[in-house]
Amino acid sequence: MKLSRKNLNERLNHLYDVIIVGGGAGGLSAAIYLQRYNLSCLVVEKGRGRSFWMQELRNYLGLPADTPGRELLQRGQEHALSLGADYLRGYVEAVTEETTEAGKSFAVRVKIGKTDSIYPVFRSKYVIAASGLIDYLPRLDNMQNVYDYAGYNLHVCMICDGYDMNDKLCGLFVGSEASINTAFVLNWFTPYITVFTNGQVEVGSEMRQKLQDHGFPLVETPIQQFLGENHQMTGVELVDGSTVKLETGLVAMGSRYHSEYLKGLDLEWKGGNLVTDSMCRTSHPRIFAVGDLKEGLNQVSVAVADGTLAATAIWRDIRRSSPPRRWEQNLSIGAVS
Amino acid sequence: MKLSRKNLNERLNHLYDVIIVGGGAGGLSAAIYLQRYNLSCLVVEKGRGRSFWMQELRNYLGLPADTPGRELLQRGQEHALSLGADYLRGYVEAVTEETTEAGKSFAVRVKIGKTDSIYPVFRSKYVIAASGLIDYLPRLDNMQNVYDYAGYNLHVCMICDGYDMNDKLCGLFVGSEASINTAFVLNWFTPYITVFTNGQVEVGSEMRQKLQDHGFPLVETPIQQFLGENHQMTGVELVDGSTVKLETGLVAMGSRYHSEYLKGLDLEWKGGNLVTDSMCRTSHPRIFAVGDLKEGLNQVSVAVADGTLAATAIWRDIRRSSPPRRWEQNLSIGAVS
């Protein structure tokens, strides 16, 4: 059921099989599988993750290409709730290990509400970290101007949206010198690339030469604003008043992983990603990671499969440590007649 | 486009980037990704694979639980076609390696039509084996009687459908002594299990004892027919005229992999499964395997992710071996104005 301030007290003494941090594609897929394995789970979703911002899924089998990410999330939430999952809007602040008489468990502290916040603690045997990431966007004075285009024709994922940039005039918005190398992959889709540093990146002579060799202009003047209307970006105005015409854009400024709540635990990381085995188990036997937070391709389809794998591994653990169920044949249920 | 006897000649001199053997969830996901990477592909689908028989998907994020497998396939086929993929109904008989002046390629021989068959040969740089498996079903005199219930409440996948067997009177239909062990996993969902050998399995004393300890009856008399109506199986009639009441059933008789066409190639196998790396690449650098044919969980979500991974790995290969695209700035397309 949906939990809120009003009813969450009912669950404070419940030991969930699994608490899932993040209600994106990976977390919701895990919830559906867990409930179908007769395991109990709570999904805690802070809202507005990466898939929420996707205006069109484009490459997920079974859904029309123009399905918005938020529709996938809405459907998944309803599916999980219909199977008996619990779902809570809140921000997970900390996960800590506890050992009680009942065995080992996790205490998951959640912040609910931006004002008059409350901080309930829920408990589970397993944790699935499905909290993903959020992309850095160009920092402009008026951020609404960025949000007007991000996820429409100002993209953040080349694998998802490179096809829609084919042979278009494309702005590449970078946050470091290394990320300029994205241009030399993006040119698979379009060679008409202009690189924008927004005045915040020092570019060495070697990289300047490489850009010049490819014919990709480098614009180092800070950006005043994106131009366009109806969520279709048509160019960039620079602070010196000049404009650059564009038909599409790719933001390659890196991303921030939502993983602060795991920092007190001894887990193996590779950069911002959790290292996992083939079933998405981290170096802690009862903590799993799915989707963008773990190593690998950041794609909806991969996150959905990760949720399947993590839920199945947890089911195997719990099932194997549970006593077998016998058919007590003195019950009145008939067998061979 | 859809290929058939009438128009396939147009493609006989085409070197596809990828030929995908199998138009199930994994193959179609790969086709969608490949086309969005601007690569060309042909999907060859023989029809009536495992997902075609699923009456309800139940656990795939984003689609209602009662969506039939064939609807997922239909949507995926339309999606891939809309992106420019080729699609052909036919049976792949053999894949062989060729070395021509243009480099290394595969020749894929397809049988089209059950009568007046023709055997065109298509060519590609890469092959994705996505041909999956088909489950063995109980062999009865009247197979239509089996098909009436298989995929409805006579299930073939415990991970998919165990939830729908919860605490029901369940028949477990086995094809070997080892597969009787399925009962000791299935009892997570229901303890009311009757095991049927259809008179075709020798059961040793140790296994008989284990079944007795769990209270699971063993029925060794051959099956005459399934009972029921409207695709809802309600029991089994044995050849001696006795009946066993059931509410659901699980067929655990193993499955046959569709992989004969690969037998001439030197690939690493583990049982019936192809061994692959984390991107679904087999031991042959230009052959990939996705979905049920590779090791791992046989789930739609996993196959869809596999298609994503294989397509992405192939794109990386082809992109890295292609010359960079430069922006010839003497073109009339404007940059900084």
Closest-CA distance, A213 to chain B, in angstroms, reads 8
Q: What pLDDT is stored for residue A330 in this prediction? A: 54
Residue with tokens 């241009």: A183
Give the whole-angstrom CA distance, residue B288 versus residue B310: 6
How far is Cα of residue B123 from the mean position of the Cα atoms in its chain? 23
Q: Which residues of B touch A327 (CB under 8 A)?
A: 191-193, 214-216
ipTM of the complex: 0.96
For helices A25-36 and A300-320, angle between their N-to-C axes, nearest 10 degrees: 30
Beta-carbon separation of B188 and A79 below 8 A: no
- Scanning B116-155 for CB atoms below 8 A from A yields none
Q: What is the DSSP letter of A222?
A: P
Q: What pLDDT is stored for residue B118 in this prediction? A: 97
Q: Is B9 on the interface with A (CB under 8 A)?
A: no
- Tens of pLDDT, residue by residue over B126-144, are 999 999 999 999 999 999 9
Q: What pLDDT is stored for residue A49 in this prediction? A: 84
CA atoms within 13 A on the CB side of B283: 10
Q: Which residues of A touch B328 (CB under 8 A)?
A: 215
- Selecting from A32, A166, A296 the residue whose C-beta is nearest the C-beta of B61 gives A32
- Selecting from B28, B319, B333 the residue whose C-beta is nearest the C-beta of A61 gives B28
Beta-carbon separation of A304 and B166 below 8 A: no
Q: Is B333 on the interface with A (CB under 8 A)?
A: yes
Q: What pLDDT is stored for residue B329 in this prediction? A: 73
Interface test with B, best of A29, A32, A41, A61 (most B CBs within 10 A): A61
Q: What pLDDT is stored for residue A181 in this prediction? A: 98
Q: Is B256 on the interface with A (CB under 8 A)?
A: no
Beta-carbon separation of B59 and A36 below 8 A: yes
Q: What pLDDT is stored for residue A141 in this prediction? A: 94
Beta-carbon separation of B82 and A62 below 8 A: no
Closest-CA distance, A97 to chain B, in angstroms, reads 28
Q: Hey, what are A100's tokens?
A: 């009680």
Beta-carbon separation of A304 and B301 below 8 A: yes
Given the DSSP bridges, would you call strands B248-252 and B154-155 parallel, antiparallel or unpaired? Answer: parallel
Q: Is B89 on the interface with A (CB under 8 A)?
A: no
- Scanning A155-174 for CB atoms below 8 A from B yields 159, 162-163, 166, 169
Give the whole-angstrom CA distance, residue B181 versus residue B179: 5
Q: How confident is the model at residue B102 (pLDDT cuts 50, 70, 90)?
A: confident
Helix residue ranges per DSSP H, A151-268: 158-161, 183-186, 205-214
Which residues does B78 contact at the CB level (< 8 Å), separation at least 6? none
Other C-beta atoms closer than 10 Å to the C-beta of B216 total 24
Give the whole-angstrom CA distance, residue A168 versus residue A180: 18
Q: Is A219 on the interface with B (CB under 8 A)?
A: yes
Contact between residue A326 and residue B191 where contact means Cβ atoms under 8 Å apart:
yes
- Tens of pLDDT, residue by residue over B48-83, are 888 888 889 999 999 999 999 999 999 999 999 999
Beta-carbon separation of B327 and A215 below 8 A: yes
Q: Hey, what are A151's tokens?
A: 């996820």
Beta-carbon separation of A32 and B162 below 8 A: no
Q: Is A319 on the interface with B (CB under 8 A)?
A: yes
CA atoms within 13 A on the CB side of A6: 2
Q: What percent of chain B has pLDDT over 70?
A: 98
Q: Determine which helix (DSSP H) or strand (DSSP E) holds A238, and give its type and residue range.
A: strand A232-238
- Selecting from B32, B193, B327 the residue whose C-beta is nearest the C-beta of A327 gives B193
Q: What pLDDT is stored for residue B337 in this prediction? A: 44
Overall average pLDDT of the B290-304 stretch: 96
> From first to last of its 337 residues, what are the pLDDT tens digits of chain A?
999 999 999 999 999 999 999 999 999 999 999 999 999 999 999 998 888 888 899 999 999 999 999 999 999 999 999 999 999 999 999 999 999 887 899 999 999 999 999 999 999 999 999 999 999 999 999 999 999 999 999 999 999 999 999 999 999 999 999 999 999 999 999 999 999 999 999 999 999 999 999 999 999 999 999 999 999 999 999 999 999 999 999 999 999 999 999 999 999 999 999 999 999 999 999 999 999 999 999 999 999 999 999 999 999 999 999 999 999 875 544 444 4
Q: What b-and-e string marks burial along A69-84, b requiring 16 or more CB atoms within 10 Å of the CB?
A: beebbebbbebbbebe
B17, B19, B24, B29 alpha-carbon torsion, rounded to 10°:
-10
- Tens of pLDDT, residue by residue over B183-227, are 999 999 999 999 999 999 999 999 999 999 999 999 999 999 999
- Selecting from A28, A36, A296 the residue whose C-beta is nearest the C-beta of B61 gives A28
Give the whole-angstrom CA distance, residue A92 versus residue A112: 9
Model pTM score: 0.96
Q: What pLDDT is stored for residue B330 in this prediction? A: 54
Beta-carbon separation of A166 and B38 below 8 A: yes
Taking CB atoms and an 8 Å cut-off, how many pairs form between chains A and B? Answer: 197
Give the whole-angstrom CA distance, residue B240 versus residue A265: 63
Q: Hey, what are B135's tokens?
A: 């489950």
SS3 (DSSP) at B155: strand
